[in-house]
Copies of this chain bind each other. A is one copy, B any other.
């Protein structure tokens, strides 16, 4: 379930949830109109900063800010790497 990357310090790698492709009424949403998802699954977790252990774990579904993190491509997948402080909540 996790991936073979070790985030440094208080960083977390998140796989964003796929955006909805249809509206509730069944209308297909063109790519540019899809809102960037703000929900994802944690794939890798750093060791935290000194005296600040991490709270999230691999496998957690998390909510994060619209502009949180940096996009990275590793092992054929697209992920976001962000600091734990950018994560709002565990759902």
Contact = CB atoms under 8 A, between A and B. Distances in A.
Interface of A: 4-9, 11, 13, 38, 44, 46-47, 50-52, 55-56, 63, 65-66, 70, 72, 74, 81, 84-85, 87-91
Question: What is the total number of copies of this protein in its complex?
Answer: 7
Given A6-B90, A47-B55, 4 more contacts: A8-B88, A8-B89, A46-B89, A50-B52
A76 to B, nearest CB: 12
Contacts of A55: 8-9, 47
A39 B81 CA distance: 14
B74 A11 contact: no
A4 B38 CA distance: 17
